[in-house]
Amino acid sequence: MSGVALVSDLAARLRAGWLLTRPVAPDTAAALAHRWAELPASARSPAQLLGRRTAGCEGTHGVFPRCNLACTPCYHGRDANRVRTDGTHTVAEVDRQMRYLRAVRGTDQHAQLIGGEVSLLDPDDHAAALQAMIRHGRKPLSMTHGDFDYEYLRRLAIGPDGQRRFRLLRFAGHFDSLMLGRRGIPRPRSEAELHPYRRAFVQMFELLRREHGVRSDLAHNMTVTPRNLPEVAEVVRGCMGMGFGMLSFQPAAYVGNRARWREDFHSVDIDAVWREIERGAGTRLPWRHLQMGDPRCNRSAYGVLAGARWTPLLDDRDPRDLRARDTFLDTLGGMNFERSLPVVATATARVVARHPRVLPLAVGWATRFVRRAGVRRLLTGRPRGLTFVVHAFIDADVVRPAWDALERGETADDPTVRGAQERLQACSYAMAHPEQGRLVPACVQHAVLDTEENLHLQRLLPVKQDGVTETQST
C-alpha cells in the first residue's frame, strides 16, 4: 500500500472512530431540541427530561390488537379481538412506523412493541419485529401478560441455526388480579396469589441467560383500581427482590371497552398510588426533581436497590445533587450509555474535555451516593437499578374534546379540557402515523383513533376459525 493510501486509510479510520464516539448523534440532538421547543411553557422546568435526556417513549399501534386474556378494565376496544394476529402484517407495520420515528425522533430511543398480546405472534415474527426496531435505532421492549412458556422465549431469542438473535431482550410483564384467564390461576383472588407467576416470568429469563448468554431487562406493570389499591404495597414488597428493573403502576382510566368499566376509577389518583408504593418500598420516593412530561401523567423515582434497601440516585433536598443533575442534563443528557464500554468512555472523555466542571461534580455526587447507600451494602448487597413509575392516562371523554381543540389550534375554555390539552402537549409516549406525517399521544390513539383503526383491521385481518372467516366475535 502506498503512503498516500495509508494516510487515506488512517484518516478514514479516525473519522469513523470520531463519528462512533460522538456523545449524541446529530439527528438525536436535533430531535431533542425540537421536542423541548414544542413543550408547553409549564413543562420546561429544570427537572424536565423530555427534550434533554430523551425525546420520549414510543409505541406501536395497529399491529396485533388481539389478546387471549380478559382484563377489567381493558384499554382496547371490543373490536380488538376480531382482528387476526398476523406476523407479516405486524413486521411490515412495525418497520413502517419505526422508519418514520427514526426520521423525526433520531436514534437510541426506547420503543414498545405493544398491541394486544405479543406472544400470540409466532416467535420468528416476534423476533423479526424486534430486529426491525433495532435496525431503525430503537431500543425495543415487548409488552406481554407473561403467560407463555420458556420454549417460546428460547425460540424468540435463538434462531433455527442455534445462534443468538439478541444479546439483550427487554420485556414488560403485566400482572394483576384484574386479569382473567391466566393459565393456572384464571381468577386470582389477590395480588399475592400472583407472586409465583411473577417469579416464574423472571426465572424464564434467568434460565435463558444461563443457557444461551442472552441478558434481559424486565419491567413489571400493574393496573390499579379501588379493588386492588390496598394491595399495591404488597406487590412492591414482593417484586423488589425478584429481579425486575422497573415497577410500574397505572391507575385505571375510562378508556377502551366500556363493558369492562366496573368501578369508580376516579377514586384512585396518582397520589394515592404513590403513597402505597412508598409504603411497600419502606421509604420516601423522591420524584419532583426528575420529571418525564407532565406530573399529572407521570411520576418516577430512580434509584439503586442493594441489600434490600432502596437509595435514590439523587437527594432532591440536597442543592449539590440538583446542581449535578443540571450539569448532567446540560452536557451528557442526550448521550446513549448503552454502547460498548470503550465507546462510552471515549464519548464521556470528549464531554469532560469540553466541560471540565463535569468531573468534580460527578466525583462529589458519587461520594454522596455511596455514603447514602452504604459502602458495605453496595459491596455485598448485589446492587442493581430499580425505578418506580406511575403512569396516569386521561379519560376518553376528556381526550376527544381536548384533541379536537388542539387540531383546530384552539385553547379550551373548560379547565378540565384545557388541562388535558397541556398534558397531551407534554406527552412522553407517542405513536407514529407515517401516512399523516405526524406523531400522536398514546391517549389520543386509544381514546380517539383505535376504534376506526380496529374496524379497518377487522376487514383486513378477519379472525378465522376452522377455515371459516369469523365476521362477528365477542
Residue 207, C-beta contacts closer than 8 angstroms, at least 6 positions apart: 150
Considering only 17-26, 43-52, 215-224, which range has the smallest mean pLDDT? 17-26
- Of 430 and 20, more confident: 430
The pLDDT confidence band at residue 1, using thresholds 50, 70 and 90, is low
Q: What is the pTM of this model?
A: 0.94
Mean pLDDT, range 86-98, rounded to an integer: 98
Taking only the tens place, the pLDDT of each residue in 299-337 is: 999 999 999 999 999 999 999 999 999 999 999 999 999
Q: What cell does 448 get? A: 380517539
List of domains in the chain: 23-316+382-460 (3.20.20)
What's the CA gap between 76 and 447, in Å, rounded? 9
Mean pLDDT, range 125-136, rounded to an integer: 98
Can you give the pLDDT at residue 470? Answer: 43
The pLDDT confidence band at residue 17, using thresholds 50, 70 and 90, is confident
Let me know the angle formed at the C-alpha of 72 by 282 and 81, rounded to the nearest 5 degrees.
Answer: 130
* pLDDT over 80 (residue 464): no
Taking only the tens place, the pLDDT of each residue in 242-272 is: 999 999 999 999 998 888 888 999 999 999 9
Percent share of the chain, pLDDT over 90: 89
Mean pLDDT, range 39-50, rounded to an integer: 96
* pLDDT over 80 (residue 6): no
Mean pLDDT, range 386-394, rounded to an integer: 97
Can you give the pLDDT at residue 77? Answer: 77
Residue 310, C-beta contacts closer than 8 angstroms, at least 6 positions apart: 240, 281, 282, 283, 285, 303, 304, 386
Can you give the pLDDT at residue 467? Answer: 47
Percent share of the chain, pLDDT over 70: 96
Can you give the pLDDT at residue 465? Answer: 59
User: How many C-beta atoms lie closer than 10 Å to residue 334's C-beta?
Assistant: 21
The pLDDT confidence band at residue 471, using thresholds 50, 70 and 90, is very low
The pLDDT confidence band at residue 75, using thresholds 50, 70 and 90, is confident
* pLDDT over 50 (residue 469): no
Mean pLDDT, range 278-282, rounded to an integer: 98
* pLDDT over 80 (residue 10): no
Taking only the tens place, the pLDDT of each residue in 189-199 is: 999 999 999 99
Taking only the tens place, the pLDDT of each residue in 151-172 is: 999 999 999 999 999 999 999 9
Can you give the pLDDT at residue 18? Answer: 83
Can you give the pLDDT at residue 258? Answer: 83
What's the CA gap between 87 and 250, in Å, rounded? 29
Can you give the pLDDT at residue 4? Answer: 67
Mean pLDDT, range 440-452, rounded to an integer: 95
Taking only the tens place, the pLDDT of each residue in 347-362 is: 999 999 999 999 999 9
Considering only 7-16, 114-123, 232-241, which range has the smallest mean pLDDT? 7-16
Taking only the tens place, the pLDDT of each residue in 356-382 is: 999 999 999 999 999 999 999 999 999
Tell me the average pLDDT of the chain.
94
